[in-house]
Amino acid sequence: MSDAKPPFSKILVANRGEIAIRIFRTCREHGIRTVAVFSDGDRDAAHVAAADEAVHIGPTPSAQSYLRADKILAAAERTGADAIHPGYGFLSERASFVDACREAGVVFIGPGTEAMKVMGDKVRARKAMIAAGVPLVPGREDLADVDDALAAAVEIGYPIMLKASAGGGGKGMRIAHDDDQLRRGFAAAQREAAAAFGDDRIFVERAVMQARHVEIQIMADSFGTVVYLNERDCSVQRRHQKVIEEAPCPGPQMNPEVRARMGEIACQVARSVDYCGAATVEFLFEEQPDGNPKFYFLEMNTRLQVEHPVTEMTTGRDLVWDMIRVAAGHPLGYTQADIGLHGHAVECRIYAEDAQRFLPSPGSLVRLRWPEGPNLRVDAAVREGSEVSSHYDPMIAKLIAWGPTRALALARVRRALEDTVILGIDTNIGFHLRVLAEPDFCAGRFDTRYIDTHPALVEARELSEDDSRAVAAAAAMVAASASTSVRRGGDPNPAGLSAWQRSARRRG
């Protein structure tokens, strides 16, 4: 625990799951008391037990609990919390919530409303970046209807990417290769954007089909200091959702000069909106035959990112602690020259899902064992006996490994996945193991189309010998559980074991 007086006495985390637990961890290290909030469905959730206090805020659906600013603020008043950390998702990028916190006299641990409003609207963000001289993918922001989109396609050229102005998480996005696809895609993107965000505005960009998704982590204080904490590669995605992230970006075209150039542009983006706090500036990174890559601004996420642990493990910074300090009005306390790059880190997002169809797999965790060892980190949302709800995001944990080289980091995360035991639900662990054994991924040869161009990674098939090692430990548990049930005359598959786990039992 730090000897200095904490910047806040009590912090409420307006979130759930692994990010709430991760924020509580930093608060506990620095002597700050914590408050969890929970819905009906999360009464027994792991994040509730991890806080000093917990307040019930409503029914299970997010719209009636975690998205209710009034209930969050009432919980802060009731517990005497003097600051609120939003985590990511839910209210983390809602400017009206920032205003409500200020009016209630509670510090919001994040940026001010103007930066959030500009960067939360992708059309406004593009216009702001054009004014700031930041490189952008060619596109059009001022679309009134599909005819405007068709005209833009003539100017830009196919393929075209349709995007929702208020979008995120891949919603409201479509690729069109011709006029017919553009007409259909425009209407579909509008409907999806309206349903997801209450805003059906669409803009278009040239679709960069062979590019990496590379993002720069920045941190800024209210005294004008803005630094970049290197980059992360988040190219391995399904349905525009990240699955594996790593730092630094692999490949010969990311070098110190390119990193510095991207970092300086990311800081320029932050300064253009007087940013304070943690943010991520995302780029499309297009490798070139001459070895000099091109990169284009995509968006700025005005919050902590899911994949922040790989940055922490390669820089030695606690980003949550930095966010707390600058929100309290403290100077950042370090400069760009103090930021190093140490080794390599890889993060695998573990989802409760059918990894062939990428569909959620809710249920109860009847057996759970996380790996242990040096240079491993598990940010988990669940414990043994937890119920994985269909009402929330299916990510149940993040498994992160560090190594002095990328090869060693990959070997460590692979072994950690093999040592993980999760029974009762389907997970994507088998998918991760197939990716980690795939030659193009191991060689760093991939882009955002990686999963689409490697369909064998998601095809249903018998376990390979490598996959079998990953479930060897689980097999004994499954067999014992089934044997006990059969002796009692019960269902030989009492836990609702996944096909992957049943295959492990057969092979075990």
Catalytic residues: 299
Q: Which strand (E) or helix (H) includes residue 84?
A: strand 83-85
Place of tokens 């300086």: 264
Closest CA to 15 of 100, 377, 46: 46
Residues 6+ apart with CB under 8 A from 224: none
Q: Which strand (E) or helix (H) includes residue 37?
A: strand 33-39
Both tokens assigned to 4: 């200095």
- What is the CB-side half-sphere exposure of residue 148 using CA atoms within 13 A? 14
Closest CA to 164 of 135, 134, 200, 133: 200
Terminal CA-to-CA distance of the chain, rounded, Å? 46
Q: Give 3-state DSSP helix, strand, coil % of the chain, rounded to 5.
A: 40, 25, 40
Alpha-carbon 247 to chain mean position: 14
In this structure, what DSSP letter does residue 337 have? G
Place of tokens 């054009």: 130
Place of tokens 């008391």: 33
Amino acid at 137: V
- Which 3-state string (H, E, C) describes 119-139? HHCHHHHHHHHHHHCCCECCE
3-class state of residue 228 by DSSP? strand
Contact predicate 374/429, CB 8 Å:
no
The span from the CA of 475 to the CA of 398, in Å, is: 23
Omega of the bond leading into 309 within 30 degrees of 0 (cis): no
